[in-house]
A and B are shown apart, each in its own frame.
Chain A
Amino acid sequence: MTTATRTFDWTSDEIMTVAAARALGDGMSCFVGIGLPSTAANLARRTHAPDLWMIYESGTLGTVPAHLPLSIGDGVLAESADAVVSVPEVFNLWLQAGRIDVGFLGAAQLDRYANINTTVIGDYADPEVRLPGAGGAPEIAASCGEVVIIVRHSARAFVDRVDFVTSVGHGRGPGDRERLGLRGRGPTRVITDLGVLEPDPDTRELVLTGVHPGVTVDEVRAATGWDLKVVETPAVTPEPTAAELSVLRSLTGPEARR
Chain B
Amino acid sequence: MIAPLDEAIAELVHDGDTVALEGFTHLIPVEAGHEIIRQGLRHLTLVRMTPDIVYDRMIGAGCARKLVFSWGGNPGVGSLHRFRDAVTTGWPVPLEVEEHSHAGMANRYLAGASGLPFAVLRGYSGTDLVGHNPHIKTITCPFTGQELAAVPALNPDVTVIHAQRADRAGNVQLWGIIGIQKEAALAADRVLVTVEEVVDTLEPVPGQVVLPARVVDRVSVVPGGAAPSYAHGYYERDNEAYKSWDAVGRDREAFTRWLADLTAAAPAATLEGTAP
Contacts and interface: CB of A to CB of B under 8 A. Distances in A.
Given A86-B182, A137-B101, A58 B73 contact: no
B24 A58 contact: yes
A136 B177 contact: no
Interface string B170-198: 00000011111011000000000000000
B83 A34 contact: no
Contacts of A167: 127
Interface stretch (B2-10, B214-222, B230-238, B250-258): B230-238
A88 B111 CA distance: 11
Chain A interface residue bracket vs B: 35 or more
A59 B177 contact: yes
B147 interface: yes
B70 interface: yes
Interface string B233-267: 00011010010000000000000000000000000
A75 B236 contact: yes
A68 to B, nearest CB: 9
A165 B126 contact: yes
Chain B interface residue bracket vs A: 35 or more
Given A35-B76, A134-B99, A71 B126 contact: no
Interface in B89-118: 99-103, 106-107, 109-110
Among B107, B109, B176, residue most surrounded by chain A Cβ atoms (within 10 Å): B176
A77 B110 CA distance: 24
B237 A74 contact: yes
A73 B77 CA distance: 14
A168 B125 contact: yes
Contacts of A133: 69-73, 99
Interface string A115-144: 000010000101101111111111100110
Q: Please report whether the interface of chain A is mostly helix, strand, loop or mixed according to DSSP.
A: loop
A237 interface: no
Contacts of A176: 126
Contacts of B183: 86, 88
A195 interface: no
B71 A127 contact: no
Nearest to B100: A134
Interface in A127-180: 127, 129-139, 142-143, 164-168, 171, 176, 180
A73 B132 contact: no
B221 to A, nearest CB: 22
Interface string A41-58: 000000000000000011
B128 A88 contact: no
Among A57, A132, A183, residue most surrounded by chain B Cβ atoms (within 10 Å): A132
Among B25, B103, B110, residue most surrounded by chain A Cβ atoms (within 10 Å): B103
Which 5 pairs across A and B sit closest by C-beta, in order of nearness?
A: A73-B25, A132-B73, A71-B75, A135-B71, A70-B76
